[in-house]
């Protein structure tokens, strides 16, 4: 059994379908490949968001490997849409809350959450459930709806995008986590870890007017990389993204993909997505652009991947 088979199990699922965990278990038990102590990627399936996050972080060496006592932390979920969690338009709030608690337990001085939303930011923060759980978990949630919150940075490696205005909370943070939801996207084809960077910048219009896929890759060249890309695939939006039309557009995958490699994170996530809806990774141009810019690898078969079934 090859590593990539983890992401190819099963045929297209029905509406809000759950993956076949018996099939997954067979794949796991038949895999004879040796996994390194600290893998390049962790893929967890079958649990609730907080449980899967805990397993992934423990496998990667624990949260204290990434967050040190006294540091300021930013968590950047997708909170772009005025939608309830069941639509999977935004990152699962339970996952965000669990990550906040992990960071504070590691001694973080402050945890801040924001997104440059597409719908009204106050409605997005409230409807997503992220504002409530962030505050309950001890994080600060800040707006990103005004240019005053952003400062310009240079992107010398960018092909189309040579500079961008990035939210000051992220500029001032000691460490940050990129926490997107896995979903279909009408314009970008998929919205995952690389696409989630569009929520840290002010002028998204430039992206759409100047080769969207290349600009997505370009913004990811910013030298302040996330400690981890934590892809929420608990419930994914299979079609009609990025907002979705109804809950019937979603499938319950109960999965989490975690890696510091942003390109590999998107490739693995697309392979997982293919269990419920066909999507050729070649259609998601930012992935190949990202590899060319040396942001990571598309060849996840060469990575050490730890698969965990809850």
C-alpha of 34 from chain center: 27
- What confidence score (pLDDT) does residue 41 get? 98
Residue 218 sits in a domain whose CATH number is 3.40.50.11440
User: Residue 15 gets which letter from DSSP?
Assistant: T
| Average pLDDT over all residues of the chain | 91
Domain hosting 166: range is 3-309
CA angle 298, 302, 306 (to 5 degrees): 100
- What confidence score (pLDDT) does residue 28 get? 45
Bond from prior residue into 177 cis (ω within 30 degrees of 0): no
Average pLDDT, stretch 252-281? 97
- What confidence score (pLDDT) does residue 6 get? 54
CA angle 215, 7, 193 (to 5 degrees): 25
* Distance between CA atoms of residues 90 and 261, nearest Å: 22
Answer yes or no: is pLDDT of 232 > 60.
yes
Give yes or no for a contact between 309 and 22, defined as CB atoms under 8 angstroms apart.
no
**Mind listing the pLDDT tens digit for each residue in 164-216?**
999 999 999 999 999 999 999 999 999 999 999 999 999 999 999 999 999 99
Answer yes or no: is pLDDT of 275 > 70.
yes
- What confidence score (pLDDT) does residue 89 get? 98
Answer yes or no: is pLDDT of 12 > 50.
no
- What confidence score (pLDDT) does residue 19 get? 47
Predicted confidence band of residue 17 (pLDDT cuts 50, 70, 90): very low
- What confidence score (pLDDT) does residue 72 get? 98
* Distance between CA atoms of residues 5 and 35, nearest Å: 15
**Mind listing the pLDDT tens digit for each residue in 110-156?**
999 999 999 999 999 999 999 999 999 999 999 999 999 999 999 99
Least confident of 1-5, 202-206, 222-226, 252-256: 1-5
Domain count, the chain: 1
- What confidence score (pLDDT) does residue 37 get? 81
* Best CA proximity match to 49, nearest among 23, 26, 77, 73: 77
- What confidence score (pLDDT) does residue 107 get? 98
**Mind listing the pLDDT tens digit for each residue in 19-64?**
455 544 544 444 444 444 899 999 999 999 999 999 999 999 999 9
């Amino acid at each position: 059994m090859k590593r990539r088979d983890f992401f190819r199990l099963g045929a297209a699922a029905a509406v809000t379908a759950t993956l076949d965990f018996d099939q997954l278990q067979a794949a796991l038990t038949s895999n004879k490949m040796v996994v390194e102590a600290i893998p390049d990627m962790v893929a967890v399936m079958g649990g609730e968001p907080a449980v899967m996050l805990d397993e992934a972080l423990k496998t990667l060496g624990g949260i204290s490997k990434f967050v040190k006592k006294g540091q300021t932390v930013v968590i950047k979920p997708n909170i772009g849409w005025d939608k309830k969690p069941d639509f999977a338009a935004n990152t699962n709030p339970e996952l965000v809350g669990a990550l906040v608690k992990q960071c504070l337990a590691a001694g973080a001085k402050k945890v801040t959450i924001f997104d440059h939303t597409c719908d009204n930011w106050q409605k997005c923060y409230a409807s997503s459930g992220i504002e409530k759980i962030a505050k309950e978990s001890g994080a600060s949630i800040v707006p990103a709806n005004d240019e005053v919150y952003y400062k310009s940075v240079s992107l010398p490696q960018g092909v189309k995008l040579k500079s961008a205005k990035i939210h000051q909370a992220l500029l001032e943070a000691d460490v940050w986590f990129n926490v997107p939801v896995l979903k279909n996207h009408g314009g970008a084809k998929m919205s995952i870890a690389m696409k989630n960077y569009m929520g840290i910048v002010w002028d998204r219009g430039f992206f759409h007017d100047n080769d969207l896929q290349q600009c997505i890759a370009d913004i990811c060249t910013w030298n302040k990389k996330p400690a981890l890309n934590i892809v929420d695939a608990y419930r994914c939006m299979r079609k009609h993204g990025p907002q979705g039309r109804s809950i019937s557009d979603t499938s319950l995958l109960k999965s989490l993909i975690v890696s510091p490699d942003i390109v590999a994170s998107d490739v693995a996530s697309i392979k997982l997505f293919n269990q419920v809806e066909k999507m050729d990774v070649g259609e998601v141009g930012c992935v190949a652009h990202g590899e060319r810019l040396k942001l990571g690898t598309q060849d996840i078969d060469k990575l050490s991947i730890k698969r965990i079934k809850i």
